[in-house]
Structure 1
Amino acid sequence: MQEVVKEIDETASILKLLGDKTRLTMIKMLESHDYCVCEFVEVFKVSQPAISQHVKKLKDAGLVQETKKGQWVIYSLNRQCKYFPIIQSLLHHLPNQDFHLQKLKEQGLRISCK
């Protein structure tokens, strides 16, 4: 019985985390491409510390993972996460966000960590 309650609590926490528009959009963007914080800053037009806080929450929940490329950290969707099936189902109902990537490319800002 306690395990069932714990599972419900954990799932509710994940859904609450994704109740934030910025984090939900980030997860949808990460479904098809990896991003660095500087790219999220450009897409969302908010400060780097604010974006880093969003990414940290997603990473702490296990939804996002990081890979170091030189001095930069690239974030990707953690498809091995226990909650990925729920996330995948949710993402299926959201509109594609690849236009953000296209805008970054057009502006010459794709992987713009310099």
Structure 2
Amino acid sequence: MDIPFLEKQLKALADKNRLIILSCLKSGEVCVCDLVEVLGLSQPAVSQQLKKLEQAEIVTSRKVATWKHYRIVDEPSPVLQAALSQLENKSVYHYEPCY
């Protein structure tokens, strides 16, 4: 693993909200609308956190109607695997359908 990539991933992991997001994504794909409810942040603030995770190649997304759904990448790096192994699965409640 090259140092710039490792640095990018470690910086992305060094945030409480992003770690909570990853806890939610351990169980599978989650809509950004549900992450807004879990984190208690605005949709733009959650999207900014997800963008940092996506830029660090930690999560990937797909668009469903007007919302994006996120999941952890298919082949996580050893650093990401180690971090994920330390996080508990956080349940994401679906408050209302988002599409």
TM-score range, shorter chain: 0.7 to 0.9
Please list every run of at least 4 consecutive aligned residues from structure 1 whose deviation after the TM superposition is greater than 2 angstroms: 68-72
Structure 2 stretches of 5 or more lacking a match?
A: none
User: Is the aligned partner of 1:16 residue 2:1?
Assistant: no
Q: CA offset at residue 45 of structure 1? A: 0.6
* Structure 2 residue matching 1:97: 3-state secondary structure: coil
User: Is the aligned partner of 1:95 residue 2:91?
Assistant: no
Q: Deviations over 1:42-61 (max 9, x none)?
A: 00111111001001111112
CA distance in structure 2 between the partners assigned to 1:70 and 1:23 by the alignment: 24
Name which one, 1 or 2, has greater alpha-carbon Rg: 1
> Identical aligned pairs, as a percentage?
36
Q: What is the identity, as a one-letter code, of the residue corresponding to 1:113?
A: C
Structure 1 stretches of 5 or more lacking a match?
A: none
CA distance in structure 2 between the partners assigned to 1:63 and 1:78 by the alignment: 6
Q: What is the identity, as a one-letter code, of the residue corresponding to 2:70?
A: Y
State TM-score, norm by structure 2: 0.84
Aligned CA RMSD, in angstroms, stands at 1.9
Q: What is the identity, as a one-letter code, of the residue corresponding to 1:78?
A: V
